[in-house]
Amino acid sequence: MTNQKNVAIKVAVSNSSLFTRAAKKLRGSVITISKKKPLQNLDNNGGSRINGWVDSMRASSPSHIKSSAHSEDLNSWIVHHPSALDMFEEITNASKGKQIVMFLDYDGTLSPIVDDPDRAFMSDAMRATVRKLARYFPTAIVSGRCRDKVYSFVRLAELYYAGSHGMDIKGPSKGSKHKKKWSELAQQVRTVLKEYPKLRLTQGRKVLEIRPTIKWDKGKALEFLLESLGYANCTNVFPVYIGDDRTDEDAFKVIRERGQGFGILVSKMPKDTNATYSLQEPSEVIKNLGTNWSLYNLCNKDYKEKFVT
C-alpha cells in the first residue's frame, strides 16, 4: 500500500452539464485520479466555466454586496465632504487676511478611540504638533470630558480648555505666551458675561473658570470663546473646528450659520454632518495640523506680521 500511485476519491456528482456524461458512466462507483496528473481531464471550457461560477458566487455574496455598497456610499459622501488634506489650498485661500482660531475635540481627534477611556492617550508627536499650532493661532480643546481630565491628557498650559461639552471653560494658565494679555482677556471675559447672566465666573490667580447653570453645548462654547477673544462680531475671524462626535455637530452648525470658517469631521464612515470637510483618523489630523497649518503660517508673512506676536 505504501507504493500506491492512485487515490480513490468519492465525488458527489451534480446535474451540471459539466459532469452529466461522467455521472451516467460512474453513478454509484468510485473515480480514480492519478496523483501525478490531477484533474487534467477538465478541458479549457470547463475550467473557464468553473471560474465563472466562482466569480458569480463571490459577487453575489452578502459581504461583497455590503462592501460594494459601502464603497459607493463613501465615495458619494467624500464628494460632498472632501478631505481637508486635499482641499487645504481652498481652505487657506478662504482664510487669507483673517484671524484663524482653532477648536479641537479630543477623543477620536487628537487621540484614538480606545476601549478604556482612561487610556485614551495622545501621542507625543500629536502633543508637539498642538503646542506648535498654539504658537500661531489661539487654540482650544472642546471635549465632553471634564476639563481636568482632558487637561491631564493634553498637558499644554497655553491652550483654552472647554470641558463637559463647554460647560467648564478655562483660559491659558500663568506662564503661557498669553501672559502679557491676561488682564485684557480677564476684562473681556467679564464684559462678555454681562450678556450671559446665567453663567457663573470663578476667578483665581491667573485662572478664569466659567460654568453655566443652563443648557450648554459645544456650539455655545465656541461662540462664547470667540466672543471672549474679541471676535464676536468680527468679519476677519476664521474658526476651524475639528471633531469626530455627534456632539461636535453643534459647533459645525454654528460655523456654517456664521458663514465664517470651516468644520472638519473626523470619520471613516459616511455620516450626516454640518462639517464642510473630512479627515479619516487622528493620523490625518496630525498631518493636517502639523504639516499644513504650520507651513501655512511660516510661508504667510502677512499673517505672521498681523496676528502672531
Is the domain of 28 the same as that of 90? no
According to DSSP, the residues that pair with 142 across neighbouring strands are 162
Is the domain of 192 the same as that of 50? no
Is the domain of 170 the same as that of 257? yes
Position 55 scores a pLDDT of 64
Position 306 scores a pLDDT of 62
Tell whether 71 is covered by a domain.
no
Taking the C-alpha atoms of residue 240 and residue 102, their distance in angstroms, rounded to an integer, is 5
Q: Can you read off the three cell numbers belonging to residue 292?
A: 499644513
Based on the number of CB atoms within 10 Å of its own CB, is 194 exposed (0-12), middle (13-18) or buried (19 or more)?
Answer: exposed
Position 44 scores a pLDDT of 52
Domain that residue 12 falls in:
6-60
Report the candidate in 271, 250, 98 with the shortest Cα–Cα distance to residue 263.
250
Q: Structural domain tally of the chain? A: 2
Q: In this structure, what DSSP letter does residue 55 have?
A: H
* Concatenated DSSP letters of 112-178: ---SSGGG-PPPHHHHHHHHHHHHHS-EEEE-SS-HHHHHHHH--TTSEEEEGGGTEEE-PPTTSTT
Q: Which residue has the cell 493661532?
A: 137
Taking the C-alpha atoms of residue 242 and residue 279, their distance in angstroms, rounded to an integer, is 9
Tell whether 205 is covered by a domain.
yes
Measure the N-to-C terminal CA separation of the chain; round to a whole number of Å.
90
Is the domain of 297 the same as that of 159? yes
Tell whether 33 is covered by a domain.
yes
Position 45 scores a pLDDT of 55
Is the domain of 193 the same as that of 268? yes
- List per-block mean pLDDT (blocks of 10 residues) for the chain, which spans 309 residues: 47 44 47 48 55 60 54 85 94 91 96 94 96 94 94 96 89 61 73 76 63 78 92 92 95 96 96 96 94 70 60
